[in-house]
Amino acid sequence: MNNVKDKVVVITGASSGIGEETVSLLSENGAKLVLGARRLDRLEKIQQKIGHNVSIKKTDVTQPDEVNALIETAYNDFGRVDVLINNAGLMPQSFLEKNKQDEWNQMIDVNIKGVLYGIGAVLPYMRKQKSGHIINLASVAGHVVFPGSAVYSGTKYAVRAITEGLRQEEAAVGSNIRTTILSPGAIDTELTDHISDQEMKQGIDEVYKDAIKPDAIARAINYAINEPEESSVNEFIIRPSSQNL
């Protein structure tokens, strides 16, 4: 069974890490891909590597017009949108007493508003075609809070709440739109590079010393998409076997 083949999949944050690994796996399984990220040069390299059935669009998810343009690119190039993966995210964790307001706002803009803009942009298309799948990246920090994670955890709890609300709303109207929340633990990506609070970073680096590769998350995404349309895989938590958080 390959329900991934020929599906049109839009991915934000597609230029590295989980996004890039997911692009590779879905491409191998025959998906048609529309990739969004701020680093256009990275997207161009990925596009050249894949070589076919892939479109790219420079996208800052904090800008609703750019998110709308990304979805429109998928519709114009491939005629539909089957899956949206809201993958773009930031994790500049810090202790609240450091008062890093710019970082708080940045996380809220990317991690919460970026997801909302994606949902808002794609929902009319999916409702019109009476099918679709929205996959939102949360975090283990959206299930547990620890010192220094208050704002980041808040954004990821919000992603889970938004996705569950979306699931209930779409089930109520019979739109056949599926939802999936995916909560990674320590994954070997660039995410920890955003932590400017050095006291906080020391502790996070200790957790991430056993980080697993992002292909673990890509496989989970592929699995959720591949399930028959009447089956909705609503939530995953994936962490290193050794991670106790």
The 8-class DSSP code of residue 195 comes to: -
Rg (CA), the chain: 17
Residues 6+ apart with CB under 8 A from 174: none
**Are the C-beta atoms of residues 31 and 9 closer than 8 Å to each other?**
yes
- Contact assessment for residue 137 and residue 159, using Cβ atoms and an 8 Å cutoff: yes
Does residue 152 carry a catalytic annotation? yes
Q: Which of 117, 125, 152, 208 is catalytic?
A: 152
The angle that helices 114-129 and 150-173 make with each other, rounded to 10 degrees, is: 10
Q: Please, which residues bridge with residue 35 across strands?
A: 11, 56
- Give me the residues paired with residue 179 across strands: 134
Rounded-to-integer distance, Cα 163 and Cα 204, Å: 27
Bridge partners of 9, per DSSP, are: 33, 83
Question: What distance in Å separates the CA atoms of residue 232 and residue 177, rounded to the nearest whole number?
Answer: 9
- State the distance between the two ends of the chain, measured CA to CA, in whole angstroms: 35
Q: Please give the full DSSP string across 181-235, using - where no structure is assigned.
A: EEEE-SBSSSGGGG---HHHHHHHHHHGGGPBPTHHHHHHHHHHHHS-TT----E
Residues that are catalytic: 152
